[in-house]
Amino acid sequence: MAKTKTDMREAVMTAAKATVQSHGYNALSFRELAKEVGIKSASVHYHFPTKGDLGAALARRYTEEGAAYLAELLATSNDASWCMDRYAAIFRAALANDNRMCLCGIMSAELDDLPAEVRTEVNRFAQMNVEWLTQILSRARPSTGEQDLQECAMAIFAAIEGAQLVARGCRDIGIYDRAIRAYRTTGLIP
């Protein structure tokens, strides 16, 4: 059965996501993606005229899928600790999947090299996470002011992304697990 244009686009997106999570945005090569997917480089350009278009599409989808999952968590439970456990598990899962990083986290490390459209989507990912974490914190700390909740949410987001980065660099997922336990013990996360 012949692959459709949608199938080819999805295959390119899947291969590109794995490349970025393992090696970063700068490692994206249309020639290598085409070889991996089994198509011509021109076919990659058909779906994504520029590397920036591909990077923005990846980050946008990653953000949308993440937002949908996080909304599902909010709808499933009012327990902030339960939600935070599942949130931390997302970042752990990337490490457990061949020592990969959060797609937008690794792109953030290359921010100066990203085209504007990719930076916009990476920033949207961070904003979405901070907004979700603020909602979770408001459940755990209802008497805390909005500004303080947002600042704590940003600290949590940075701490979890940072724990993932350090664990990846050391190739030791246990570092991530210990960091998350320490964040909970010290009260950073509920």
What pLDDT, on the 0 to 100 scale, is given for residue 64? Answer: 98
Angle in degrees, CA 47, 115, 66, rounded to 5: 70
pLDDT along the chain (190 residues), means of 10: 74 96 95 93 92 97 98 96 97 96 95 96 98 97 97 98 97 98 96
Q: Is this prediction's pTM over 0.85?
A: yes
- The CATH T-level fold of domain 5-185 is Tetracycline Repressor; domain 2 (1.10.357)
What pLDDT, on the 0 to 100 scale, is given for residue 1? Answer: 46
Domain ranges of the chain: 5-185
3-state per-residue secondary structure call for the chain: CCCCHHHHHHHHHHHHHHHHHHHCHHHCCHHHHHHHHCCCHHHHHHHCCCHHHHHHHHHHHHHHHHHHHHHHHHHHCCCHHHHHHHHHHHHHHHHHCCCCCCHHHHHHHCHHHCCHHHHHHHHHHHHHHHHHHHHHHHHHCCCCCHHHHHHHHHHHHHHHHHHHHHHHHHCCHHHHHHHHHHHHHCCCCC
